[in-house]
Structure 1
Amino acid sequence: MKNKIINCLSKFVCLVMATMIFDHSVNAQLKPISSDEYVSELDKKVSAWLDEFIVPGAALALIDNGKIILQKGYGYADIKNKVTVNGKTGFNIGSISKTVAAWGVLKLVEEGKIELDSPAENYLTRWHLPESEYDVNKVTVRRLLSHTAGLSLHGYPGWSPSDTLPTIEQSLSGKNNGPGDVRMIMEPGTKWKYSGGGYTILQLIIEEVTGQKFADYMQAEILNPLGMTNSSYTIDDKILSASSLEHNGYGEVIPFELFTAEAAAGLHTTIEDFVLFAMASLNVPNGLVADQSILEQSTIKLMTSPAPAANGRYGLGYGIDSIQNSQAVLVGHGGANTGWHAYLRVNQQTGDGFAMITNGGSGHNVYRQAYCDWVNWKLGVSLGNRCIKTITPLLINAIRREGIDAAIARYKKMKETKSEDYFFSEGALNNFGYELLRSNKVKEAIEIFKLNVEEYPESGNVYDSLGEAYMVDGNNELAIKNYEKSISLDPENTNGVEMLKKLKNQ
């Protein structure tokens, strides 16, 4: 089944997706060193990680005891023209857009224009949730913010610059490039289930309540007052002129993506601006933010505290990460869109923070290494298996040097001899296969999907993906065979059912 990199928290959540695969090289506890010494060491590591994971560029900021100790760009925004990343280079930050959008909602709550526990329907006239077996009045603003409203639609793929973007209402009704409409699929208030669609409802609520475009409201009421004047939910000429290019897992330039679902996925920012938001999220007076009165400290505390039914992992727009073997609780979010990866975590108890943005399909590997290293330095603890490297970049380099057969042989050898040092998973292979497919390397994609079938023969998803690759290659007979196998293993695979009908009717 097609696994696009979409703004979302992935199967374990984008907010924690960011911490699933880290590096053993940072597992050993570091000796106590000063911030200057640490920044000097980290500088060298970041450049090495960019090379290792085939990511052209990144920008990183660190906060230590309420002060910014690092704010720097690494690598390239545009390799061909030798444009390096600097403090004003723009990056999309994926689902961290939700965290910033939550500030916009909570500002309206403070002003008495929205009530957290009122039904979302009270504020909607332009679109309404479809009828279902569940009570629509239980879909409250608080539950939308905390992903406990029982809604569908995990995340969004983007649109290309040549596409005509749908309206918010059209997107909510299913015209959104793939993921379907937003509807109630479980009892609201009973379970945490990530829904980017819920944040598109919040985007619409902001427009309904204020009478303004979402992006205009956010610029005037949140971004500009925070000093984030080079950030925007509107991708205009100013934003594009300062933006990095975006790249796939091969480090190749890919088309720029646009989003109707701005609140869920559309914020573009720079590291200079991003660190200002990190400082504001610390919820302590610091003197660096242009306007400290945007939200009350009590409101930020509410946003960064566990919400009901969120299993302690999520507040109102913020993910909550309790670090094992320590007393630390870090709050923030992760973000991923095709070609972009970003990560934010702050420790409100100590005034420390980590913010990183990257411009490559494997950028999550870079910030995971950096974050794991930083946690080790700040807290003196290892994140253990959360620090294991992904195997995918090794496969990419092996394909480049020796071809697909050698790459697969390398994978099998590494799994046999280095299983504790690298992260091997069905999802990683599946995503890599789609990277190849998107790069028109169809034959190589087929071989990777075949490897995934060999490794995970009881998964319906791997056969679905192989079926799609065969379909792209024009081999309908094998496409049908694999889709049929996928459906036999996973009868609820609606994508496979639809593709099978399409193939058999040709």
Structure 2
Amino acid sequence: MRLLNIKLFVFAGILTFLFQISSSSLYAQRTIDQLNANLQAMYKSYKLPGFSIAIVNKGKVIYENGYGYADIKARKPFTPTTIQNIGSISKTFVAVALMKAIEHGYFTLETNINDILPFKVSNPYFPNDSIKIKHLVTHTSGIVDRNEIYYKSYIWDTKNISILKELLPSSIYSIMSTGADVDTTLKDFMYSYLNSDGKFFTKENFYDSRPGERSEYSNIASALAAYLIECKSGKSFSEYSELFILTPLKMFKSGWFLKSIDLSQHTKLYAENMEVFPLYQLVTYPDGGLRTSVDDLSKYVIEMIKGFNGKSDILSQKFYVEMFTPQLFVTTPPKNINLNKRNKGIFWNLYPTGYIGHDGDDPGISTCLRFNPKTKTGYVFLTNIMATNEVLSGEIKSIEKVLEDFCDSIRSQN
């Protein structure tokens, strides 16, 4: 009798376990179906040409989908494998590559950049103050993105540059075209802009503030951090990041240049009036030039979460911890940043909600990547239009809110 009771007890336990699994699966399917319905409704009522999303949880992609069109005229769907440039999310790849370079022993965050560069860079207002790598990665270096030069670093894939006149504000169009005097290598651009003998150099390339004193977003400083890796590794940044990030993560549809990706899978890039931008590349490509898909980016998000939890294949855990540790201190904050809303890791944004991530925008694109390494959830969002007005910006933020709310709803299941 006792044996029979034990068997009945075990059987009941198995039934309870299977019921719990079934209930959890049904709940997950219901929430995913609701998410899809919400996103479908948003696409139908919004002005976005197309977008794609991926949701990750516990080391897996639990949902990915595309909505709308990668090419409106050809009615080509926007799918999770659709490729586009991702703007400043690219800087997070600089962060990972930089930590890999530190793991290789090339330098530390405290290293003076002039100990690495083949030419000298100093703030003319404070020539005796050292700019360190930690200043570049927290946007406190004092380096200014002077638009009349920085915008010229966009190289447009068109012979008819005047097409941009209908797509860009006149103030930007007047300078955002590739001129004969624009250096087309990362090294040459950095020298020309930052060295006192460079042809683009002026005191206005720097803020009148000491390194570490002022927070101000700088694409050029971000690209300079990537160039430091080139100086020490002997490889271009694109080669280095491909070797140590893209290839190990099997991000085979991703690349830094148009020649590196399958252009048949690349989306059209739309302006606010739904006219199509020509494709473009960046001289300062590490700051915003990676081309990829949500399918590939989901692998990257999963790896970042794994790395935080000590299970990464590309970087030791202590370097993830350092990369995601707040670098700016409430007791001595730099000017021009509210640390109650956002802190900085190594290029990564750290939010009070526990999320880590980055946004991106450029002509024809808006992007967002977020994850919570403790709950092991996250999402990726790509759309093929830039938020140039309050309506588009509001629509994009609404979608991101739905995705974050979904991630929050499933963390209780973890």
Q: Determine whether 1:351 maps to 2:344.
A: no
**Partner in structure 1 of residue 405 of structure 2:** 376
Deviations 1:452-498 (A, max 9, x none): xxxxxxxxxxxxxxxxxxxxxxxxxxxxxxxxxxxxxxxxxxxxxxx
Q: CA deviation at 1:237?
A: 6.0
Q: CA deviation at 1:65?
A: 3.5
In the aligned structure 2, how far is the partner of 1:84 from the partner of 1:179? 45
Q: CA deviation at 1:34?
A: 3.0
| Selected match of 1:79 from 54, 72, 76 | 72
**Partner in structure 2 of residue 15 of structure 1:** none
Deviations 1:35-73 (A, max 9, x none): 322221222332333343321111101123433211122
**Partner in structure 1 of residue 255 of structure 2:** 232
| Selected match of 2:324 from 296, 304, 311 | 304
**How big is the alpha-carbon RMSD for the aligned residues of Structure 1 and Structure 2?**
2.8
**Partner in structure 2 of residue 168 of structure 1:** 186
In the aligned structure 2, how far is the partner of 1:193 from the partner of 1:304? 20
Structure 1: 5+ residue runs without aligned partners? 1-32, 324-328, 381-506
Q: CA deviation at 1:280?
A: 1.4
Question: Are the structure 2 counterparts of residues 79 and 139 from structure 1 closer, same or farther at C-alpha, using a change threshold of 3 Å?
Answer: same
Where do 1:38-77 residues align within 5 Å? 38-77=31-70
TM-score using structure 2 length? 0.74
Q: CA deviation at 1:241?
A: 2.7
For residue 39 of structure 2, give the secondary structure of its aligned residue in structure 1. helix
Q: Determine whether 1:246 maps to 2:238.
A: no
Q: CA deviation at 1:285?
A: 8.4
| Selected match of 1:140 from 132, 143, 167 | 132
Contact 1:134 1:184 in 2 (8 A): no
In the aligned structure 2, how far is the partner of 1:268 from the partner of 1:139? 30
Aligned residues: 337
Question: Are the structure 2 counterparts of residues 192 and 251 from structure 1 closer, same or farther at C-alpha, using a change threshold of 3 Å?
Answer: same
Amino acid at match of 1:300: Y
Amino acid at match of 1:168: L
In the aligned structure 2, how far is the partner of 1:229 from the partner of 1:185? 43
In the aligned structure 2, how far is the partner of 1:201 from the partner of 1:258? 17
Question: Are the structure 2 counterparts of residues 53 and 154 from structure 1 closer, same or farther at C-alpha, using a change threshold of 3 Å?
Answer: farther
**Partner in structure 2 of residue 28 of structure 1:** none
TM-score using structure 1 length? 0.61
Amino acid at match of 1:105: L
Contact 1:60 1:72 in 2 (8 A): yes
Q: Determine whether 1:322 maps to 2:342.
A: no
In the aligned structure 1, how far is the partner of 2:290 from the partner of 2:324? 20
Amino acid at match of 1:259: L
User: What percentage of aligned pairs have identical amino acids?
Assistant: 24
Q: CA deviation at 1:239?
A: 3.6
In the aligned structure 2, how far is the partner of 1:53 from the partner of 1:179? 44
**Partner in structure 1 of residue 197 of structure 2:** none
Question: Are the structure 2 counterparts of residues 179 and 61 from structure 1 closer, same or farther at C-alpha, using a change threshold of 3 Å?
Answer: farther
Amino acid at match of 1:249: E
Amino acid at match of 1:330: Y
Question: Are the structure 2 counterparts of residues 147 and 136 from structure 1 closer, same or farther at C-alpha, using a change threshold of 3 Å?
Answer: farther
In the aligned structure 2, how far is the partner of 1:278 from the partner of 1:348? 9
In the aligned structure 1, how far is the partner of 2:122 from the partner of 2:313? 38
**Partner in structure 2 of residue 100 of structure 1:** 93
Where do 1:102-117 residues align within 5 Å? 102-117=95-110
Question: Are the structure 2 counterparts of residues 240 and 366 from structure 1 closer, same or farther at C-alpha, using a change threshold of 3 Å?
Answer: farther
Deviations 1:57-102 (A, max 9, x none): 1110112343321112221111111211223210111000001111
| Selected match of 2:357 from 332, 343, 350 | 332
In the aligned structure 1, how far is the partner of 2:72 from the partner of 2:355? 34
For residue 247 of structure 2, give the secondary structure of its aligned residue in structure 1. helix
| Selected match of 1:313 from 318, 343, 358 | 343
Q: CA deviation at 1:174?
A: 4.5
Q: Mark the structure with the bigger radius of gyration.
A: 2
**Partner in structure 1 of residue 304 of structure 2:** 281
**Partner in structure 2 of residue 503 of structure 1:** none
Deviations 1:317-367 (A, max 9, x none): 2001113xxxxx100100001110110110111001011111012365444
Q: CA deviation at 1:133?
A: 2.3
Question: Are the structure 2 counterparts of residues 84 and 105 from structure 1 closer, same or farther at C-alpha, using a change threshold of 3 Å?
Answer: same
**Partner in structure 2 of residue 36 of structure 1:** 29
Deviations 1:264-298 (A, max 9, x none): 110111111111111112135899xxx93311122
In the aligned structure 2, how far is the partner of 1:136 from the partner of 1:40? 60
**Structure 1 runs of 4+ with >6 Å offset:** 178-181
